[in-house]
Amino acid sequence: MLSRVAETIYWIGRYHERAENTARLIQVNTNLTLDLPKGLMPQWEPLITILGCEEEYAEAHPELTERRIVNFLVSDEKNTASILSSLAFARENARTIRDILPREGWEVINSSYNEALEKKAESYSRAGRQYYLEDIMNDLQHITGLLAGTMNHDLAYDFLNLGRKIERADMTTRIIDVRSDNTVPKDVPEIRPFEDMLWMSILKSLSGYQMYRQSMQVRINRQDVLKFLFCDHLFPRSVAYCVHNIEDYLSRMPVPRKYKCGTHLEKLHDLLDIPIKKELDNEKLHDYIDSLQLLLAKLHLDISRSYFPAIAS
């Protein structure tokens, strides 16, 4: 398998997962605006920090309003991290490996981007946005399912999933960060009655509410939600689950010549059961999330060095 093709397909996995999770992230906040009383309305600004695009935003927009921020994250083609940009990059990538993808796979990747582009005006209102984001998430699930059902489960497919799971692990931590960061007022007495609802909202945005109930058998509470989202071995969006998948894929890949992805994986493992061992307050949670993200970034770098074309070739 060509190194360039491996890189291209890995990034299709990442871009699609990024688009899907950005949609989920926006859905959490939108749901919170509906659930919380007026004085406790969530802010939108932290989403930009969570997704790491403060500079791009500051350059493009003078003010921070819900509308501007959401448009920036959803449909702004100048923002390279927007959902629409991610879909566009994934499509361009898919185009360069049309020979690898099953024909139907390319057609759905192509048409879901076309549709997202054509209908982007629908995302401008709060009401339209819900449907718009749901459609995108459905399309992306469709693509995932279609590829799972029509593509050879070979090395190319492993690279696709490798990209997808690294991005998913990373994005799950970012979605949890909505709570540890500042979107809603922290630890003020008024928020306490709503605390469990906030966590429920996060679970729902990860399609994890029912699975949480089945798996944890307890009512929603912060500590158990964190355990579930970080450490559960059965829920496919938990960080631990993704890391196990990543290990699996890497174990099937040719042994890299120079770099050792294994060291980063071991370190990730050591970190994974921390939420089981101790209770993390918001500040510690935020730091914990940072260290996970850092390790995932290092893992990505070593995968690039091991399998992808050298940057200056």
Partner 1 sequence: MSINFEAFKEHPFFDELITPKGNARAYARKMYSFINKLEAEELDNRQKGAELAIKQMGITFRVYSKEEGAIDRAWPFDIIPRMIPLKEWNRIEEGLKQRVTALNMFINDLYHKQQIIKDKVFPAEVLAKSVNFREQCVGVKPPLNIWAHICGSDLVRHSDGKVYVLEDNLRVPSGVSYMLENRLVTKRVFPELFETYSPMPIDDYPADLFDTLAALSPRKGDKPEIVVLTPGIYNSAYFEHAYLAQQMGCELVEGRDLVVGDDDVVYMRNVDGFSRVDVIYRRIDDLFLDPEAFNADSMLGVPGLLRAWKAGKVALANAPGAGVADDKVVYSYVPDIIKYYLDEDAIVPNVPTWRCMDKDSLSHVLENIAELVVKPANESGGYGMLVGPASTRAEREEFKELIKKDPRNYIAQPTLGISTVPTVVKGMVEPRHVDLRPFILSGKKISVTTGGLTRVALRKGSLVVNSSQGGGSKDTWIVDE
Which of 4, 142, 278, 284 touches partner 1 (CB under 8 A)? 4
Contact, 180 vs 286, CB < 8 A?
A: yes
Which of 35, 45, 66, 92 touches partner 1 (CB under 8 A)? 92
3-state secondary structure 3-43: HHHHHHHHHHHHHHHHHHHHHHHHHHHHHHHHHCCHHHCCC
Min CB(103)–partner 1 separation in Å: 8
Min CB(98)–partner 1 separation in Å: 4
151 makes contact with partner 1 (CB under 8 A): no
Give Cβ neighbours of residue 32 (< 8 Å, ≥ 6 apart).
Answer: 41, 42, 183, 184, 198, 201
1 makes contact with partner 1 (CB under 8 A): yes
> How far is Cα 191 from Cα 304, in angstroms, rounded to an integer?
44
251 makes contact with partner 1 (CB under 8 A): no
Judged by CB under 8 A, the chain residues 272 through 311 that form the site for partner 1 are 307, 309
214 makes contact with partner 1 (CB under 8 A): no
> How far is Cα 104 from Cα 150, in angstroms, rounded to an integer?
8
Give Cβ neighbours of residue 82 (< 8 Å, ≥ 6 apart).
Answer: 22, 72, 73, 74, 75, 76
117 makes contact with partner 1 (CB under 8 A): no
Which of 39, 62, 189, 254 touches partner 1 (CB under 8 A)? 254
Q: How many residues bind partner 1 (CB under 8 A)?
A: 25
What are residue 101's phi and psi, to 5 degrees?
A: -80, 145
Min CB(258)–partner 1 separation in Å: 12
150 makes contact with partner 1 (CB under 8 A): no
Length, in residues, of the chain: 313
Q: Of the listed pieces 52-60, 90-98, 191-199, 286-294, which binds partner 1 according to CB under 8 A? A: 90-98
Q: Of the listed pieces 18-26, 99-107, 168-176, 222-230, which binds partner 1 according to CB under 8 A? A: 99-107
Both tokens of residue 210? Answer: 């029912």
Q: Which residues in this chain contact partner 1 in the complex, by CB under 8 A?
A: 1-6, 92, 95-100, 103, 106-107, 110-111, 114, 155, 253-254, 307, 309, 313
